[in-house]
Structure 1
């Protein structure tokens, strides 16, 4: 399996190159101690440490890359506000540490979220601008050493390369924003291209309990067409050679790092690679081009290191709310305008998150109750006419399947039973299920919220730990998932009794398939959000109660039988469009079969 020690290949090369330059610098300065001491004195006056007071002195300007390396030691400059704590390294002039102060990361040892939540740290991120000089060689700012000047929550990083000055100006703002302004002077004398490549290598650190679930939600996200269009890629590569990207994000389950260039990234491409184990989930590489104006790079960028909180994302007005994967089209609309507002409303009552989900389930069931009643009434009607269906099957035992099906449909039609009406509740449940499948693992308000034995409703509960690993189930059993599977199985047993058995050889027994389904559902729920399992446990438990209430207090099978007999005296109801089309298709298929049989006899 692939190991990860927090350093990628490019960083190792950079480290080796930097070490070689330092060794060369030591020999170079052996005979120039006086000048060396002079330079050190100047540096001591201008160098700023993390706890140093504001220093308004101008940074020392060096004449080439070697001088830059020799005259500056690697420092970490701290910027901090209520939301973020940043460390900016003089090596590469890049953000080396990003901590979200108001959130915590999952700690496997304690099984709760109590670790500092670090998006960048331990060299897991490296970025810089790559230029091509007039000799055809490339150099990258991430390999240069910068001199810092700090002023409150702003720091200016400056270096020189063969007479060209490069400045990175970072300013920490509110709302998880970091202004990143890039300025160059004299670069036009050094480079030949009208473009620079922004290269970002990033190993994403795991923040949550469910590794596989978090990996699934970790991907490239980006927008283009003046922030109007959005796309994502969670597989291997992303390529946008024609679009101008307004921003590029590496999104995780609940947090995201976003880089926004003022003029956009062109000819963008990226790759991602899954990391099987360790503290990192995926390895990302991105390359996007930025244009130079008169061979100089003077452009404003912004970094965003933010939680995926829907109201906050919408407040930026930059299409950031698309980072929250609530589902496409109707699914996303259902989450945005129904489930999230309902959750927020019930939460405002001061209830625990688990009971909020409980009430959400009841509200959904009340809304769907008319449809559920029709479904169970249809089920009762089919149970009453079962003897007549069995008689038709026995009568046509030797006949072809098409004829048997036609006569069966005639019985249903005569009794006033519309089989297709039973499909409606199932079809309605599909978008609701998928919407909740997106809702529970991505709702940051549920993150870290415990309920009974589940310590986090956005992750699985693993009270039952296994001493071995089972494919798909992993090394635990979720109590919520088991409970949900049991009630689904009970519900299936209660509803499968009215299902018609196959009347033709080779046809699958749907009862057996329905009994297998709840068991396979366990494999899905065992590693999913426990909030989802809790919702479906409550939902199916309510379904069971509804069946019992309808069966013993609402529907009377004798009355239903009398109604069916009355329907028969009135004659069959007019066919609906779908029923008519089905009958015509079956009749046409039967005629074609007769023609084929006649041809075979000849």
Structure 2
């Protein structure tokens, strides 16, 4: 190297040394750098610890999930993938019914009847998820399975009933594999209370235990109170069922009752007072176990109904069980429309025998006819009452005439009783009957007309509480003709009476007292000992019997009795005169007594015995 190079290197070195000296950090800066480095070193160590903990946590979580998966696999077998999913709700509705379906269980969650409300103006839920059970039970891999605990998915594709967004149909599937599933199909027709419900088992022959001969469909509901007056509503809430091609029966409406039906059953109905949920078989259910339980009076629930239905299982690739649900009102005309061939209308209790015939073929027909022209049901009941009373007027007149004849003969009966001592009761009776026969009076003549009218009284006793048409229909002070009317709430509950005062019941009892008094003037206390006071006691007893009954019934009895009172006054004033009746009976005495053929045969037989 020459001198210039060495000199240049020295200058560069001096510059570097000078620069280093001039730019070196101060003691404060050195301390800050050391502090920053320490913090960075601590953060790095903390992050390493956190990451290590996270990895340990993931390992533990994975182990736990793996353990749960193994446990779930052991518990649910092929259905383990249908557990612990998110619930989703699907709505299926028309103008009448709104169904809410839940993917958990693939079941009907709620049933709302859109045109009706409860007595306190709430939406009328015929079926609520929290108060019901719905699903199939069967054995798989020797373990009991219940579809209510498993999650379904909506079915998409050409083989589904309809897309989920459709207003008419929904298909829900519990998937086990690509071609293995349990399917519930729901189809709701426009403007209909009927829901088609089909259960399909597809590819389940290797999933459901091979030794199974049936799967069980479980349906259970808590029946809530929908109407005013728990006790009365409870009487008309019952579990009904119809035998295949046979009669409709029901479990006892009170207490707890079970029935194990080996005979084929066409349908099962969970009936409330005015609404029903009915499960109808396409053909017939071949094994059914039913149970009805009455809840405590403090419970909001009236009763609990349950049905266990055995569906035959043959292990085929596809097993299909078509059914239908009816969710709707217990209106006689509506039930007959939807189930005329299967007697759904038999759930409306109109009475047995002749009482039911009167309601079906007379009262309901008149009621339905008047509905076309009159919207006020109080007026309809009034007109119905007048029609019935006019039809029975000839019998009423005949009954009054019989009573009038007995009345005018009373002095002659009293004379016989004075003439013949009390210890000769048989002789008294013979003399009295001879007088009746000679005067042409039948002492039982007033009973037959009353017996003819009696079926109408009983028939209408059944009709009004069961008449859906009267539900929540107001008239005068009565807000609901299907339940009791109340003009006063009492501060306490009176046994056999209640905690309120029904004005229609009071009016009915009052008119019955008036009618009883009028009849008492026509009757002979000696002919009917003790009956006079019993007749006065009956209207008083009506207060306890009818205070909690349908106000429409009390209103009908009030109008009917009032009409009878007016009829009696009119007959007494314008049609029957006691003097004329007595003159007619005296004229009858002068006529020869006609003997019946039976009496002639008896007398002839007596003569023959006398000759021997």
166-175 or 309-318: which moved more?
A: 309-318
Equivalent residue number for residue 222 of structure 1? 241
Q: Distance in 1 between matches of 2:265 and 2:258?
A: 12
Residues 291 and 297 in structure 1, CA contact (< 8 A), matched pair in contact too: no
RMSD: 2.8
TM-score of the aligned structures, taking structure 1 as reference length: 0.81
Which range is displaced more, 314-323 or 362-371? 314-323
Q: The residue matched to 2:373 in structure 1 has which SS? A: coil
Alpha-carbon shift at residue 225 of structure 1 (Å): 2.5
Residue 233 (structure 1) aligned with residue 276 (structure 2): no
Establish whether residue 116 from structure 1 lines up as the match of residue 131 from structure 2. Answer: no
**Structure-2 residue corresponding to 1:555:** 576
Which of the numbers 169, 180, 186 marks the counterpart of 2:185? 169
1:520-559 aligned within 5 A: 520-559=541-580
- Bigger shift: 268-277 or 463-472? 268-277
Aligned length: 520
User: Once the 2 structures are TM-superposed, how far is the Cα of residue 122 of structure 1 from its aligned partner?
Assistant: 4.9
1:152 alignment partner, one of 166, 171, 183: 166
Map of 1:133-282 to 2, 5 A cutoff? 133=140, 135=142, 137-149=143-155, 150-153=164-167, 154-160=169-175, 165-174=181-190, 175-189=192-206, 190-191=208-209, 192-226=211-245, 228-235=246-253, 236-239=256-259, 241-275=261-295, 276-282=297-303
Tell me how far apart the structure 1 counterparts of residues 393 and 261 of structure 2 sit (CA, whole Å).
51
- In structure 2, relative to structure 1, the CA distance for the partners of 1:518 and 1:391 (3 Å cut) is same
Task: State which structure, 1 or 2, has the greater radius of gyration over its C-alpha atoms.
Answer: 2
1:93 matched residue in structure 2: 106
Give distance in 1, aligned partners of 2:59 and 2:124.
Answer: 43
Q: What are the Cα deviations for residues 122-142 of structure 1, in whole angstroms up to 9, with x where unaligned?
A: 51111222213453x422222
Cα 1:389–1:115 shift into 2, 3 Å: same
Structure 1 residue 294: deviation in Å? 2.5
* CA deviation vs aligned residue, 1:97-142 (integer Å, no higher than 9, x gap): 00000111111xxxxxx2111111251111222213453x422222
In the TM superposition, what are the counterparts of 1:28-39 in structure 2 within 5 Å? 30-31=61-62
Instruction: Provide, for residues 221-256 of structure 1, a one-character-per-residue CA deviation record: whole Å limited to 9, x for no partner.
Output: 122234x53222233425253321111101111111
Alpha-carbon distance between aligned partners in 1 of 2:177 and 2:537, rounded to the nearest angstrom? 71
Cα distance, 1:169 vs structure 2 = 1.5
Give the Cα–Cα distance (whole angstroms) in 2 for the partners of residues 500 and 365 of structure 1. 26
- SS across alignment from 2:62: coil
Distance 1:413 1:499 in 2: 19
Q: Which runs of 5+ in 1 are unaligned?
A: 1-25, 36-61, 108-113, 588-602
In structure 2, relative to structure 1, the CA distance for the partners of 1:484 and 1:34 (3 Å cut) is closer
- Provide closer, same or farther for how the CA distance between residues 540 and 336 of structure 1 changes in structure 2, counting only shifts above 3 A: same
SS state at 2:270 partner:
strand
Quote the Cα distance in structure 1 between the aligned partners of 2:544 and 2:508: 12
- For residues 124 and 363 of structure 1, do their structure 2 counterparts lie closer, same or farther at Cα, with a shift above 3 Å needed? same
Alignment gaps of 5+ in structure 2: 1-56, 67-75, 156-163, 607-612
Equivalent residue, structure 2, for 1:590:
none
CA contact (8 A) 1:272 1:284 kept: yes
Match of 1:305 in 2: 327
Distance 2:385 2:59 in 1: 74
Cα-to-partner distance string for 1:542-568 (whole Å, 9 max, x where unaligned): 111111111121111111111111111
After superposition, the Cα gap between the structure-2 partners of 1:390 and 1:351, relative to the gap in structure 1 and judged at 3 Å, is farther
